[in-house]
């Protein structure tokens, strides 16, 4: 049995595909004020224009994903694993809200680059290149083109994934990726000091320089760990998503 002190989350879906309507109020429940700072919660129920076909399909997929994760949490006994799932759940909800608020920025994006029959290869200009298994689990993440080039020159170059990466590299190697890409990847791999060292090199806009320094001081001064650290990392990823 699940220990009595683990409350079961309330699981529901927030996007209705038939009407292209998303429930902002429902999605925002349980998220912190800092995570919601960039959203107009007065929207309540928000309806997408019919022209955003890809966005609607993606929202439907993400809505199913967050619902499945929520139900999974109810059956997890390990606290650290529950915290990790809750963190992932929050990330999906925030991305759904961001996508609904700015559908034009997502409609013509083509994140799925290649499918080898064994892997999905997806590119996100703020986080890197993700290699996913057909079950959706992340297998490998490349933070920049240097990592991709190193991989395809290694002993793994003749593997199905190596061949896939080589094709992607040839298509995209001339692109310039945002400075925050490596920072986010280091944060997701719990390499905090290295992430902050890279973040120090970024030219922040306006008061973001002050906000970044305050967040950085919070990490070192409070010696964060456990759920507090997970929350801090999630907020930092939202902060860097602006760049």
Q: What is the pLDDT of residues 160-186, one digit of tens each?
A: 777 878 877 777 666 666 667 778 777
The pLDDT of residue 63 is above 60: yes
Q: Report the distance separating Cα 108 and Cα 181, nearest Å.
A: 21
**pLDDT tier, 73 (very low <50, low <70, confident <90, very high otherwise):** confident
- Residue 124: the pLDDT is 65
> Closest Cα partner for 135 from 238, 65, 185?
65
The pLDDT of residue 3 is above 60: no
CA 97, 58, 92, 206 dihedral sign is negative
- Residue 111: the pLDDT is 46
DSSP structure string for 82-146 = HHHHHHHHHHHHHHHHHHHHSHHHHHT---EEEE-SSEEEEEETTTEEEEEETTS-EEEEE-SHH
- Residue 179: the pLDDT is 64
- Residue 13: the pLDDT is 92
Q: Report the distance separating Cα 9 and Cα 76, nearest Å.
A: 12
- Residue 174: the pLDDT is 65
Strand order in the sheet with 138-142: 112-115, 119-124, 128-133, 138-142
Q: Report the distance separating Cα 14 and Cα 70, nearest Å.
A: 13
CA 16, 100, 236, 178 dihedral sign is positive
Report angle CA 107, 231, 82 to the nearest 5 degrees. 90
> Closest Cα partner for 63 from 80, 78, 48?
48
- The predicted model scores a pTM of 0.47
The pLDDT of residue 107 is above 50: yes
The pLDDT of residue 113 is above 60: no
């Amino acid at each position: 049995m699940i220990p009595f002190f683990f409350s079961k989350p309330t699981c529901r879906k927030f996007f209705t595909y038939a009407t292209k309507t998303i429930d902002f109020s429902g999605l925002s429940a349980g998220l912190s004020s800092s995570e919601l700072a960039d959203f107009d919660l007065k929207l309540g129920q928000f309806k997408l224009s019919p022209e955003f076909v890809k966005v609607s399909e993606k929202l439907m997929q993400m809505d199913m994903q967050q619902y499945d994760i929520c139900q999974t949490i109810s059956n997890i006994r390990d606290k650290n694993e529950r915290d990790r799932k809750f963190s992932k759940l929050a990330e999906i909800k925030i991305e759904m809200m961001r996508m609904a608020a700015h559908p034009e920025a997502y409609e013509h994006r083509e994140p799925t680059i290649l499918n080898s029959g064994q892997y999905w290869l997806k590119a996100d200009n703020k986080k890197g290149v993700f290699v996913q298994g057909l079950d959706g689990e992340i297998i490998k993440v490349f933070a920049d083109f240097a990592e991709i080039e190193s991989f395809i020159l290694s002993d793994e170059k003749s593997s199905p994934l190596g061949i896939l990466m080589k094709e992607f590299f040839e298509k995209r190697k001339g692109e310039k990726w945002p400075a925050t890409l490596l920072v986010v990847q280091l944060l997701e791999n719990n390499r905090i000091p290295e992430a902050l060292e890279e973040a120090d090199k970024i030219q922040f806009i306006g008061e973001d320089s002050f906000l970044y320094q305050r967040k950085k001081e919070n990490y070192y001064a409070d010696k964060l760990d456990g759920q507090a650290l997970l929350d801090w990392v999630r907020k930092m990823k939202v902060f860097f998503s602006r760049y």
